[in-house]
Amino acid sequence: MKSILSESVWWLTGCPIIKMRIDVITLFPQFVQQVISCGVVGRAAEQGLLELHCWNPREYTADRHRTVDDRPYGGGPGMLMKVEPLQDAIGAVRAKNPNARLVYLSPQGRLLKQRMLADQAALGTVIFLCGRYEGIDERLIEQEVDEEWSLGDYVISGGELAAMVCIDAMTRLLPGALGDDESAQQDSFSEGLLDCPHYTRPEDYRGDCVPAVLMNGNHRDINAWREKQALGRTWQRRPDLLEATRLDDRQQELLDEYIAEFERTRKR
């Protein structure tokens, strides 16, 4: 079974993507900028692997109050973001980054998946549009937005947190962003499965010991155990992922072993 990362288009014009540019259109640029202040994303920015630019629609208003919202036609609660400031902000971003796709972060978008992030990271650039209030004018979505993404079936106050989640997840996929590039390839969902359990010192924690196979130094046995645990954990917690994954004969055998062991333990 191939990794999602290996299936993504990492090669453009004969070279691997070694730097990513992300533009974010937001009413709260200072908030979004915090994502590069620490951790993996911060180190990537310091190393020149990530370039983050924030654009505030208020800078593209014409009135002295810098108004970016208005009442919706047809009435109802809340306000909508106005077309003109957003349109001008988008135009300014595209003048600097003409080849980037515009992704609107919205509860109505496609449910975010690791493959979507990997494919987008492979292109080396993206523009995120963060909504606020009750959203943005539908005409802007139809005319300017290339795709809508959603973190899940719930509502948050704006797209900024969603943008920060996407920035973090995509940065992890950049070669050199992590201490070990294989770390991203072994994350949950990178091969369509959940990750296996992991253990560190102490060997015995409150009478619960590290599985013996991880202590014997036999890497073939360890890899087989980890693969079986990943299959079994996915079977238990996210069977929907297994339904979308084509297992080879060896993987099916490992999963059958896990299920048999699980059933024996449950009957005790």
Indicate which residue of 160, 172, 191, 227 is catalytic. Answer: 172
Nearest C-alpha neighbor of 27 from the set 165, 129, 151, 149: 129
Is residue 107 among the annotated active site residues?
yes
* Residues pairing with 54 in the sheet: 24
Query: For 13, left (φ over 0), alpha (ψ -120 to 50), or beta?
Result: left
Long-range contacts of residues 235-239, Cβ cutoff 8 Å, at least 24 apart: 235/259, 236/262, 237/194, 238/194
Q: Is 110 a catalytic site residue?
A: no
Whether 168 sits among the annotated catalytic residues: the reply is no
Catalytic annotation, pick one of 107, 195, 226, 238: 107
Give me the half-sphere count of Cα atoms (radius 13 Å) on the Cβ side of residue 87.
11
Spatial separation of the C-alpha atoms in residues 36 and 39, rounded to whole Å = 8
Q: Which of 46, 59, 134, 138 is catalytic?
A: 134
Active site residue 70: no
Q: Of 23, 144, 187, 227, which one is the catalytic site residue?
A: 187
Q: Enter the tokens of residue 260.
A: 């048999």
Please report, for residues 32, 181, 197, 230, the alpha-carbon distance to residue 214 in angstroms, rounded to integers and kept in the order given: 41, 22, 11, 15
CB atoms within 10 A of CB 6: 11
Report the catalytic residues: 107, 134, 172, 187
